[in-house]
Amino acid sequence: MAMAWYVVHTFSGFENKVKLALEERIKLHGLGPRFGAVMVPTEQVVEVKDGKKRTVQRKFFPGYILVNMEMDNQTLHVVKDTPKVTGFVGGGRIPPQIPEDQVKRLTQAMGGEEVRPKLAVNFKRGDEVRVVEGPLAPVTAKVEEVNAARGRLKVTVTFIGRPTVVELDFTQVEKVG
Coil vs helix vs strand at 54: strand
Q: Which residues of 22-45 are buried (b: 16+ CB within 10 A; e: fewer)?
A: beebbeeeeeeebbeebbbbbbee
Choices 2.30.30.30, 2.60.40.10, 2.40.10.10, 3.40.47.10: CATH for 128-175: 2.30.30.30
What integer pLDDT is reported at residue 76 of this predicted model?
Answer: 92
pTM of the model: 0.62
Question: Running along the chain, 177 residues long, what does each successive block of 10 average in pLDDT?
Answer: 90 94 95 93 75 77 92 93 92 83 79 53 88 85 88 86 87 83
Domain 4-119 has CATH 3.30.470.10: no
What span, in angstroms and rounded, lies between the C-alpha atoms of 138 and 133? 8
Domain with CATH 2.30.30.30 in the chain: 128-175
Predicted confidence at residue 117, as pLDDT, reads: 56
Residues of the chain with CATH 3.30.70.940: 4-119
For residue 26, what is the DSSP state?
H
